[in-house]
Structure 1
Amino acid sequence: MLSIRRMATNIIASQSSPALTFDLVARCSPGQEVLAAVGGAHKFQGWNYNILTDSGGFQMVSLLELATITEEGVKFLSPHDGTPMLLTPEHSISLQNTIGSDIMMQLDDVLVTTSPDAARMREAMERSVRWLDRCIAAHERPATQNLFCIVQGGLDLEMRRAGGEAKADYCAVVAACTPRLPELKPRYVMGIGYPEDLVVSVALGADMFDCVWPTRTARFGNAVTRHGVLNMRNAKYATDFGPVEDGCGCACCRPATEKGGMGVTRAFVNHNASKETVAAHLLTIHNVWYQLDLMRRARDAIIADRFPAFLRRFFADLYADKADYPSWAVDALRGVGVDLLADET
């Protein structure tokens, strides 16, 4: 938690939070009664900032082979002892009320976005709307806990408007949805973490994102930088005594002579990347800082009315040549009036 605070983030939505809902129902750990007694997850974790929790449904459907969905809810076998269990919209909201999360997600009918079954996709979209009504009715603390709805519909734009895809399809879905969502409410796109995906999604009107990618890729020895992802296990870094990324303000990269800086070198990370968990910890600090700083700079650019220039600089730093720019990003940004391929004036 100390490392998270030092990175200046004021919300957590990592595996500790979405999985907490799942753990409460599937593993009974730490238990709804325990969290209720202590006063919720903020006090349980010693976290005085914002917490976002998922409904628990995605974890069950994605992690459990025997999960089935009915109008009543999600039926599954406990991974702890095999006991048959049922998560309903009402139960999910009750759990999240007990957790005390600042942002909680409705229970939705989760389906792979690329499913070819149009009838099942429509069923999932319509059921998610019905479940939202049940979630709203069960919500006991609307004044202090924000309930976010989830728009289902796969790649069918009409379904999305009513209620691992290709990037072009993803951009089309985001572009179709954001203008139809309330302008003064946060537009939250779940599971998005690649830097280029983030900045393009912001350009398309999205505000919030969550993803395990920055921390997961750190565990494999990868550093996220403005010039791309660096595999710190590569032998070429064994005698590189520079910071993970020049000019980075994270605690890992800042010189030890600066307050809070550790002065970690690429050589140190390389030496430990395949042997010790300390490398994963250091790269996690760096990667999360990079993502937060990227979003801070994007927000500042929007406020200063220079977001198109920010986008051009971002892609110029990330790719050596304009010919390497991904076509999906070029097309998506051109659709909102930003031409990445135009010559600078």
Structure 2
Amino acid sequence: MKPRFEYTVHATDGMARTGVIKMKRGEIRTPAFMPVGTAGTVKAMMPESVRSTGADILLGNTYHLMLRPTAERIQKLGGLHKFMNWDRPILTDSGGFQVMSLTELRKITEEGVTFQSHLDGSRILLTPERSMEIQRMLDSDIVMAFDECTPFPATEDQARESMELSMRWAQRSRNGFNSGEEHASRTALFGIVQGSVYEDLRFKSIDALTEIGFDGYAVGGLAVGEGQETMFRVLDFTMPRMPKDTPRYLMGVGKPDDIVGAVERGIDMFDCVMPTRSGRTGQGFTRRGAINMKNARHKDDTRPIDASCACPACTQYSRAYVHHLIKAGEILGAMLLTWHNLQFYQDLMANLRDAIAAGKLSEYAASFRAEYASGDIDPL
């Protein structure tokens, strides 16, 4: 019988670890990168294409799906997995981050957040209980607690008030999750650590969440403008305090070098729109850094985007062709570059897992950073 949720660490190297999350819909190898399928699709990709890159899990979004096509409709149609033809695990963001970004259209109270739909202007109240209900309707495998993503910068008093509200919402999220007994019996619930850049607030948040009890713990409120140095400093004091027998998820990160640094500090899971958004806007990721495929320097270049990549964009097409597609506004350009970017990210995660297992993470990280900073080679 497949487990509801089981996390096993297979190897460690310093703070970093590699392992496997086992769930009813499949295994998730960690460290893991989750492609973002905000509205029930990873933009410009077929589900089977996403799977071919090595992705074990996708991310869906409560806010967008509750507005369109609605959680009720998705439930009626058999759940999000059937709806989007993805039979492996799905993690759903609670909607908190998206709602908080509507700075002029929302109001926060103890009950929840009232906001104005960006689609039709209707007023909607999203509470911890409603977030749990929506994620249950979607039949999410990993459910995220509803929280307030503390903006940056924030004073310590502002961060404290925000964190304490999130902790009260975390308890209500746990209660709401447990009320759906049948769904809770086969899924997992993650809590979210808040506290901005303040060490004591992060510690209090971790203590509050572990007292409530969750299957995994996310670090929220980072990658919101604080910069890499500050983000790593927060992780340096936060990660040693985090539970060691559960997965640890850094939300909304990120850039390849951010991921490497966060893995070194003990993070197990990541998500970010960067590889897909970049693919739609002409940016490609390579082992020698990011390149702009709109640049004229690529127009006669017969080389692949990255000679070390095995994706179709690199094995079947030239930089010149991808450049042409993007300049011409052809949909295939976004598809090929997105496919490549997702492959790059999954290859990075596989390399990190291998390096940890071999006890050579520091060597791999140093090599990766040096090559990534070296810059693209001009065509002959």
**Which TM-score band applies after superposition, normalised by the shorter structure?**
0.7 to 0.9
Report the equivalent of 2:200. 158
Q: Which has the higher strand share?
A: 2
1:248-291: CA deviation from partner (whole Å, max 9, x where unpaired): 1212212xxxxxxxx11000011111221211111100011001
Partner of 2:333: 279
- Report the residue type matching 1:51 in the other structure: I
Q: Which amino acid aligns with 2:170?
A: L
Residue from 262, 277, 280 that aligns with 1:216: 277
Does the C-alpha gap of structure 1 residues 24 and 241 become closer, same or farther in structure 2, counting only changes over 3 Å? Answer: closer
Equivalent pairs: percent with the same residue?
41
**Deviations, residues 45-99 of structure 1 (Å, cap 9, x unaligned):** 1110111111112112214621111100001122233222110000000000111
1:174 alignment partner AA: L
* Alpha-carbon distance change, 297 to 122 in structure 1, aligned in 2, over 3 angstroms: same
Encode CA deviations 1:204-248: one digit per residue, 9 max, x unaligned.
111111100111112221110110011111111111111111121
**SS of residue in 2 equivalent to 1:223:** strand
Provide the residue aligned with 1:293 in structure 2.
347
Match of 2:317 in 1: 264
SS in 2 for 1:280: helix
Q: 1:75 aligns to what?
A: 114
In the other structure, the counterpart of 1:259 is none
Aligned length: 305
Q: Shift of residue 8 of structure 1?
A: 2.2
Gaps of 5+ in 2: 1-46, 206-224, 376-380
Higher relative contact order structure (alpha carbons within 8 Å, sequence separation ≥ 6): 2
Q: Is residue 2:176 matched to residue 1:138?
A: yes
1:221-240 aligned at under 5 Å gives the runs 221-240=282-301
Alignment partner, residue 41 of structure 2: none
CA distance in 2, matches of 1:264, 1:56: 38
The TM-score, its normalising length taken from structure 1, stands at 0.85
* Aligned-partner Cα distance in 2 for 1:33–1:301: 44
Separation in 1, partners of 2:167, 2:103: 24
Q: Is the 8 A contact 2:289 2:374 kept in 1?
A: no
Contact 1:103 1:148 in 2 (8 A): yes
> For residues 354 and 195 of structure 2, what CA distance do their matches in structure 1 show?
33
| Contact 2:247 2:269 (C-alpha < 8 Å) held by counterparts | yes
For 1:305, the equivalent position in structure 2 comes to: 359
Residue in structure 1 matched with residue 87 of structure 2 by the alignment: 48
Partner SS state of residue 149, structure 1: strand
The normalised TM-score by structure 2 is: 0.77
| 1:204 pairs with 2:245 | no
Question: 1:107 matched to which residue of 2?
Answer: 146
Mapped partners of 1:290, 1:75: distance in 2: 39
2:256 to 195, 198, 207: 195
Give, in angstroms, the shift of residue 39 of structure 1. Answer: 2.8
CA RMSD, Structure 1 to Structure 2 (Å): 1.5
Aligned position for 1:335: none
Does residue 175 in structure 1 map to residue 221 in structure 2? no
- 2: CA distance, partners of 1:30 / 1:320: 45
Moved more, 272-281 or 145-154: 272-281
